[in-house]
Amino acid sequence: MVTVATLLLLRHGRTTANADGGLAGRQPVELDDTGRAQATAVGERLRNLPLAAVVTSPLIRCRQTLELALPRAEPVVEEGLIECGYGGWEGQPLKKLAKEPLWPVVQQHPSAAVFPQGESMAAMSARAVAAVRSWDARVTAEHGPEAVWLACSHGDVIKAIVADALGVHLDLFQRIVADPASVTAIRYTPLRPFLVRLNDTGGDLAGLVPPSRKRRRRATRTTDSDAAVGGGAGAAR
Average pLDDT over residues 58-85: 98
- DSSP per position, 20-74: HTB--TTS---B-HHHHHHHHHHHHHHTTS-EEEEEE-SSHHHHHHHHHH-TT--
The contacts of residue 170 (CB under 8 Å, 6+ apart) are: 110, 111, 121, 122, 125, 160, 163
**106 band by pLDDT with thresholds 50, 70 and 90:** very high
- Helical (H) or strand (E) element with 231: none
pLDDT at 88 over 80: yes
pLDDT at 97 over 80: yes
Average pLDDT over residues 19-26: 97
pTM: 0.89
**235 band by pLDDT with thresholds 50, 70 and 90:** very low
| Among 4-18, 97-111, 200-214, 218-232, the least confident range | 218-232
Q: Maximum distance among all alpha carbons in the chain?
A: 60
pLDDT at res. 204: 87
**203 band by pLDDT with thresholds 50, 70 and 90:** confident
pLDDT at 225 over 90: no
Average pLDDT, the chain: 91
pLDDT at 219 over 60: no
Name the nearest CA neighbour of 168 among 115, 110, 104: 110
